[in-house]
Amino acid sequence: MSEVSPAQTTIGFIGLGVMGRSMASHLLAAGYSLRVYTRTQTKAAPLLEAGAIWCESPAALAPECDVIISIVGFPHDVEEVYLGENGLIAHAKRGSTLIDMTTSSPLLAERIGREARENGLAFLDAPVSGGDIGAREARLAIMAGGSEEAFERVRPIFEIMGKNINRLGPIGAGQHTKMANQIAVAGTMLGTCEALAYAKFAGLDPEQVLQSIGGGAAASWSLNNLGPRIIQEDYAPGFFVKHFIKDMSLAIEAARETGCATPALDLALAMYQQLAAEGHEDAGTQVLARLYETGRKQDL
């Protein structure tokens, strides 16, 4: 089967949150016919004005589309969108390609993959990294799992939304790669926040410390991008604590399945759960630095 193209392909898009709405708008701008569904219809308004067609449910959207992309909240949302009574598996037309870009469970991806195959559908799991800015600027990293044929067929769609696009293996491999990404992030966040906390306790000027250590072996995206915000005590969300907790919980669950120990991830999750319990779940992940404040050390 040949590659998709705007002239011949209708895309369905499910989930118009902060990520999905940017991604969908790029597809529309590239000339694709777009049918959209999201739980809160008002979020679709700008896309509908730009020419997208509203559908009342995944079931209503599915029969009209050749490719259907979802990017929703949690695995149980993914499960409902794909496997529910009004879900895509039951209502998509044979031969169409379903792509879940939610960060979700690798095991759930495998289960959806099996159901899809039994119904004559192709499925790819393709979570992303790069956040709202990456989505807006069409610079997402896309980590896909699924058949090479399906991946190559929809590659033009991925290229409209992202830059670093890789197929990592069979269905589930995209989610597993995203889990590995979040495990690396968890460790660097611990290192970043702990190093800057120590600098503060030691009476150093943290900006000078960042200048001194940010270019060497201690360097990380977290240190150099979130470090300055931590120093300013700017905890506005780039990436929400609550979403990181979700991702780390999925990673721990997946790691347990594979038999891989994750002591650093376990520690990071426990610390973020403490932050969430204290009401910081809507802050950015750099709020971890607050857990190190004076007088709280006994809690860590």
Residue 143, both tokens: 């980590």
Q: Closer CB to a second copy, residue 203 or residue 279?
A: 203
Q: Are strands 128-129 and 122-125 parallel, antiparallel or unpaired?
A: unpaired
Measuring CA to CA, which residue among 217, 208, 248, 233 is closest to residue 286?
A: 233
Which of 2, 42, 118, 259 touches a second copy (CB under 8 A)? Answer: 259
Q: Which of 70, 103, 192, 286 binds a second copy (CB under 8 A)?
A: 192
Q: Considering the rule CB under 8 A, would residue 184 count as an interface residue with a second copy?
A: yes
Q: How far is the CB of 289 from a second copy (least distance, A)?
A: 12
Using rule CB under 8 A, residue 276 touches a second copy: no
Among 218, 253, 273, 290, binds a second copy (CB under 8 A): 218
The bridge status of strand 140-145 relative to strand 128-129 is antiparallel
Contact by Cβ (8 Å): 20, 13: yes
Q: Which of 34, 92, 126, 251 binds a second copy (CB under 8 A)?
A: 251
| Helix ranges, 84-213 (H) | 88-91, 106-118, 131-136, 148-161, 173-201, 206-213
CA 258 to chain CA centroid, Å, is 21
Indicate the residue among 102 and 182 with the shorter CB distance to a second copy. 182
Q: Report how far residue 54's alpha carbon sits from residue 57's, in angstroms, rounded to the nearest whole number.
A: 9
Tell me which of 4, 89, 223, 231 binds a second copy, using CB under 8 A. Answer: 223
Closer residue to a second copy, CB minimum distance, 46 or 214: 214
Site for a second copy in 279-298 (CB under 8 A): 292, 294, 296-298
Residue with smaller CB distance to a second copy, 54 or 292:
292
113-152 residues near a second copy, rule: CB under 8 A: 129-131, 134, 141, 143
Single out the residue of 72, 92, 189, 283 in contact with a second copy (rule: CB under 8 A): 189
Amino acid identity, position 230 = I
CA distance 125 to 108: 10
- Site for a second copy contains 202 (CB under 8 A): yes
Residues 71-90 that bind a second copy (CB under 8 A): none
Nearer to a second copy, 96 or 181 (CB): 181
Cα separation values, 288 from 17, 27, 264, 296, Å: 25, 36, 14, 13
Residues sharing a CB contact under 8 Å with residue 109, sequence separation 6 or more, in sequence order: 100, 123, 125, 145, 171, 172, 174, 175
Using rule CB under 8 A, residue 188 touches a second copy: yes
List 181, 230, 237, 269, residue binding a second copy (CB under 8 A): 181
Q: For residue 130, which of 120, 142, 122, 118 has the smallest C-alpha distance?
A: 142
**Selected catalytic residue, list 43, 163, 178, 242:** 178
Count of residues binding a second copy (CB under 8 A)? 75
Whether 178 is catalytic is yes
Binding a second copy (rule: CB under 8 A), the pick from 34, 88, 171, 179 is 179
We find the least distance from the C-beta atom of residue 25 to a second copy, in angstroms, to be: 22
In the block, tokens 């499925």 appear at 123
Choose one: 6-14, 107-115, 151-159, 200-208; the region binding a second copy (CB under 8 A). 200-208
Asked if 168 is part of the footprint of a second copy (rule: CB under 8 A), the reply reads: yes
What does the alpha-carbon distance between residue 133 and residue 111 come to, in Å, rounded to a whole number?
31
Q: Is the dihedral of CA 47, 52, 56, 62 positive or negative?
A: negative
- The residues annotated as belonging to the active site are 178
